[in-house]
């Protein structure tokens, strides 16, 4: 199975990211004045989640274990989440054409 330290770390980061995603979505939808800073916080926490999980995953050589469908989840979800965070950083850092 998975080492408990790995599961705890990934679980806590994922929980924090999920809660921030919900709060940030509500803030953006409601046009709260602090919505964009919340996007920054969500994206930094979510990206940190991936940056800590991937090295642990490979360091523990979990790819050598028979993970079945979980392997597909790691690869597809992990890559999609990584690319999403990169895109959000891009959108946050690009100059605003309205100014």
Query: Residue 23 pLDDT more than 60?
Result: yes
Packing angle of the helix pair 35-59, 4-29 (nearest 10 deg): 160
Instruction: Return the pLDDT at 42.
Output: 98
How far apart CA 46 and CA 55 sit, in angstroms, is: 15
pLDDT in tens, 29-78: 999 999 999 999 999 999 999 998 888 877 878 777 777 787 788 788 88
User: Is a pLDDT exceeding 60 seen at residue 99?
Assistant: no
For 21, counting Cβ atoms within 10 Å of its Cβ (0-12 exposed, 13-18 middle, 19+ buried), the class is: middle
**CA angle, 44 as apex, 12 and 79 as ends, to 5°?**
75
Check pLDDT > 80 for residue 14: yes
The position carrying tokens 């054409």 is 97
Name the more confident of 7 and 87. Answer: 87
pTM of the model: 0.83
- The string of DSSP codes covering 21-87 is HHHHHHHHHTT-TTHHHHHHHHHHHHHHHHHHHHHHHHHTTGGGS--THHHHHHHHHHHHHHHHHHH
């Amino acid at each position: 199975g998975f080492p408990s330290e790995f599961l705890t770390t990934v679980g806590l980061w994922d929980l924090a990211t999920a809660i921030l995603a919900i709060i940030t979505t509500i803030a953006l939808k409601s046009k709260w004045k602090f919505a964009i800073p919340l996007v920054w916080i969500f994206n930094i926490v979510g990206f940190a989640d991936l940056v800590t999980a991937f090295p642990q995953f490979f360091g523990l050589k979990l790819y050598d274990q028979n993970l079945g469908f979980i392997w597909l989840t790691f690869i597809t979800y992990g890559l999609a989440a990584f690319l999403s965070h990169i895109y959000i950083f891009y959108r946050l850092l690009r100059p605003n054409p309205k100014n």
